[in-house]
Amino acid sequence: MITKLIPRKVFFTSGAGTHPEHLESFEVALRDAGIEKFNLVTVSSILPPNCEVVSKEEGLKNLSPGEIVFCVMSRISSNEPRRILSASVGCAFPQNVNKHGYISEYHAYGELAQDVGEHAEKLARSMYSTWTNEAPLRTLSFPRSSSIGEQGDWMTVISAAVFTI
């Protein structure tokens, strides 16, 4: 028997991390988001039919350290002093819960959280509408911004939609 990997729940999270090493700034951002203990596999943009949005706390209760976890992630890094980094995922929910929705990811240098959040929602809304020829039931975004200090350490900012099976 073949088991289908269709997520039943999704939660949204974000994080920012600073460190002299690029890779470790990403690790710190994952810790800030609460998803550092998992083997993350990034996937594209589909919100499965009947996928329930849950709180981060509830979603994390269903996951175990070392587990392979699927997510849609927006990620941006830089070590340029005083640079603003922003990342967001946006989500367009279907009119009919038995159909799929869309999740978008967007990141930018120099844009604030609100702006990247609005852009991510716009992308998700557009992807949904071009497929269905209708507006989504609702949209949301989960943006995060941070700025790099004077010393020029690496910073990574992430935003993610994390699925549980």
CATH of the domain at 120: 3.50.20.10
Would residue 16 count as lying in a domain?
yes
Asked whether residue 149 carries a pLDDT value surpassing 90, the answer given is: no
Would residue 147 count as lying in a domain?
yes
Would residue 113 count as lying in a domain?
yes
Tell me the sheet residues that pair with 102.
46, 92
Would residue 134 count as lying in a domain?
yes
Would residue 126 count as lying in a domain?
yes
pLDDT given for residue 114 in this prediction? 95
pLDDT given for residue 121 in this prediction? 97
Listed residue (84, 90, 143) closest to 109, CA to CA: 84
Residue range of the domain that includes 147: 10-164
Would residue 69 count as lying in a domain?
yes
pLDDT given for residue 152 in this prediction? 78
What would the pLDDT profile of 61-107 be if each residue is shown by its tens digit?
999 999 999 999 999 999 999 999 999 999 999 999 999 999 999 99
pLDDT given for residue 93 in this prediction? 98
What is the average pLDDT score of the chain? 96
Split into its structural domains, the chain has a count of 1
Would residue 88 count as lying in a domain?
yes
Confidence of residue 2 (pLDDT cuts 50, 70, 90): confident
Would residue 5 count as lying in a domain?
no
pLDDT given for residue 150 in this prediction? 85
